[in-house]
């Protein structure tokens, strides 16, 4: 699928529709990039992509605006991810659409998003009285960002993880970094994120891990693809028995994307960080 850029709305002139239009959703086959990282058969992980929408509105039957926040879980087993600009355009199309209640909106979103993704998408809408429940939190484990390292590699280099484990130390550990940055696959706009890595196995050298994460700085891939690449690279070079990779990206256009992949956990909290 070498011509994928031609079918995506990213980077193109856009007409913003204010009336409901599910045809705005643009699916993108996950396998296109999974082939690149060697995930060609059964998935080595489970998980989902958590999307949070902060700019969500429609009209009630009397024409009065309703505002909401949305949380969407797209399973990683789905054949397609949903391209982010198309997701935003789809949500915008509710702005001047009259709908009966939250339940009707949720049902419509579940149907449309599930059809685009190719698997059942979970939708949760919060009304304004529930906004207070969405508190700022922090990632668990040890932050590795203060390590005093010298860095000269800003192009993706998974070999930085080579020989980074100590087989004599078998541990359970949680490490996180706020220095993850990659670029949009199509527009080259920067994507800023924080990443949590939870593992059981040989101790991973935090300095090698931090250099590896920093090497994404000039790499072009979608959020979901970056997280799957991190998972596969860690399994290849560090060979943990158990591994979770969870990234929290800053929002763009009122949406943030937070991919979660694990070979031993099936659920993770939707933690809103300060930068989100």
Tell me the per-residue pLDDT of 79-127, one tens digit each, with 9 for 90 and over: 999 999 999 999 999 999 999 999 999 999 999 999 999 999 999 999 9
Q: Note if 184 is an active site residue.
A: yes
| DSSP percent split of the chain into helix, strand, coil, nearest 5 | 25, 35, 40
Please list, residue by residue across 260-269, b when 16 or more beta carbons sit within 10 angstroms of its beta carbon and e when fewer do. Answer: bbbbebeebe
Torsion, Cα 45 191 57 24, to 10 degrees, reads -70
User: What is the pLDDT of the chain when averaged over all its residues?
Assistant: 95
- Based on the domain organization, do 155 and 123 belong to the same domain? no
Out of 184, 226, 238, 256, which one is annotated catalytic? Answer: 184
Q: Which domain holds residue 93?
A: 4-133
Residue 270 placed within a domain: no
Total number of domains constituting the chain: 2
- Based on the domain organization, do 123 and 177 belong to the same domain? no
Q: Are 93 and 24 in contact (CB under 8 A)?
A: yes
Structure confidence at residue 28 (pLDDT): 96
Residue 90 placed within a domain: yes
Q: Note if 3 is an active site residue.
A: no
Final residue belonging to a domain, choices 85, 107, 133 = 133
- Nearest residue to 257 (alpha-carbon basis) of 69, 82, 9: 82
Report, as an integer, the average pLDDT of 188-211: 98
User: What is the rounded CA–CA span in Å between residue 173 and residue 183?
Assistant: 28
Q: Are 201 and 170 in contact (CB under 8 A)?
A: yes
- Based on the domain organization, do 146 and 256 belong to the same domain? yes
- Based on the domain organization, do 157 and 91 belong to the same domain? no
58 pLDDT more than 70: yes
Structure confidence at residue 11 (pLDDT): 56
- Based on the domain organization, do 169 and 125 belong to the same domain? no
Instruction: Name the pTM for this structure.
Output: 0.94
Q: Which CATH number belongs to the domain containing residue 89 in this structure?
A: 3.30.1130.10
Q: Provide the 3-class DSSP secondary structure of residue 39.
A: coil
* 166 secondary structure, DSSP code: E
272 pLDDT more than 80: yes
Out of 49, 76, 112, 191, which one is annotated catalytic? Answer: 191
Structure confidence at residue 41 (pLDDT): 87
């Amino acid at each position: 699928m070498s011509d994928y850029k031609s079918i995506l709305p990213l980077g193109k002139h856009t007409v913003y529709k204010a009336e409901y239009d599910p045809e705005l959703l643009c699916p993108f086959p996950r396998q296109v990039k999974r082939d690149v990282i060697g995930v060609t058969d059964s998935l080595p992980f489970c998980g989902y992509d958590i999307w949070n929408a902060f700019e969500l509105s429609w009209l009630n039957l009397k024409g009065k605006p309703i505002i909401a926040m949305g949380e969407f879980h797209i399973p990683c087993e789905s054949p397609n991810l949903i391209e982010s600009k198309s997701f935003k355009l789809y949500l915008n199309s509710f702005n001047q659409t009259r709908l009966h209640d939250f339940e009707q909106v949720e049902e419509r979103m579940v149907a449309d998003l599930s059809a685009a993704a190719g698997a059942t998408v979970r939708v949760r809408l919060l009304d304004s009285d529930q906004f207070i429940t969405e508190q700022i939190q922090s990632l668990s484990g040890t932050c590795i960002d203060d390590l005093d390292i010298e860095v000269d590699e800003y192009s993706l280099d998974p070999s930085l993880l080579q020989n980074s484990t100590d087989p004599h130390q078998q541990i359970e550990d949680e490490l996180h970094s706020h220095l993850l940055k990659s670029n949009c696959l199509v527009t080259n706009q920067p994507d800023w994120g924080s990443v949590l890595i939870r593992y059981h196995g040989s101790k991973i050298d935090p300095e090698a891990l931090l250099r590896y994460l920093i090497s994404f700085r000039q790499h072009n891939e979608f959020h979901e693809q970056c997280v799957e690449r991190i998972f596969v690279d860690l399994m290849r070079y560090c060979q943990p028995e158990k591994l979770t990779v969870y990234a929290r990206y800053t929002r763009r256009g009122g949406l943030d994307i937070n991919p979660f992949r694990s070979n031993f956990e099936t659920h993770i909290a939707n933690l809103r960080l300060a930068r989100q």
